[in-house]
Amino acid sequence: MLKLHLATLIALAVLFVGCGSEERNTSVAAKQSPAADNTARNVRDRNDAAPTPMDQGESEGDRTITQTIRQTIVDNGTLSTNAKNVKIITQNGVVTLRGPVDAESEKVFIVSTARGVTGVVNVDDQLEVTVKSY
């Protein structure tokens, strides 16, 4: 009986020590990983004054504007994934563009695309060109 308890205690001690080292390794890896690219933007999006996709206009005109811009962006094979995923929010003909793009040329393309769509009254360009660090 004593041998069984002793064996159980040794097994638990090994597990305990093993778990601790794994947690230490995980925390070291987590500290070395960079923060998500859009963390600061997500905090900014919580501001009630900043339009989010939930603020998309419900009118047929607003939906058509957003769909047209999105389709043109997605159909462009030269744009980065970031550029294809920018936020496009249309309210009463005013288009807000937000999010990161990988190059100034992508920003120019997206803004000019939005300005060229019929029914657009104004374009609020909040696109940000990200700086890649390797």
At 76 the three-state DSSP class reads coil
Q: What CA–CA distances, in Å, run from 133 to 1, 20, 58, 61, 101?
A: 61, 33, 40, 40, 14
The predicted structure's pLDDT at residue 2: 47
- Please report, for the chain, the start and end positions of each structural domain, with discontinuous segments joined by +: 1-33, 39-129
pLDDT at 58 (0 to 100)? 75
Q: Which residues of the chain have pLDDT under 70?
A: 1-49, 54-57, 133-134
CATH code for residues 39-129: 3.30.1340.30
Three-class DSSP category at 122:
strand
Q: CB of 117 within 8 A of CB of 68?
A: yes
Which tokens in the block code for residue 1? Answer: 């009986």
Question: Is 2 in a helix, a strand, or coil?
Answer: helix
Structure tokens at 69: 């811009």
Q: Which two tokens stand for residue 47?
A: 């501001």
Tally: H helices and E strands in the chain: 5, 3
Task: Supply the pLDDT for residue 50.
Answer: 75
At residue 72, the pLDDT reads: 97
How much is the pTM?
0.63
- The answer to whether 107 touches 101, Cβ cutoff 8 Å, is yes
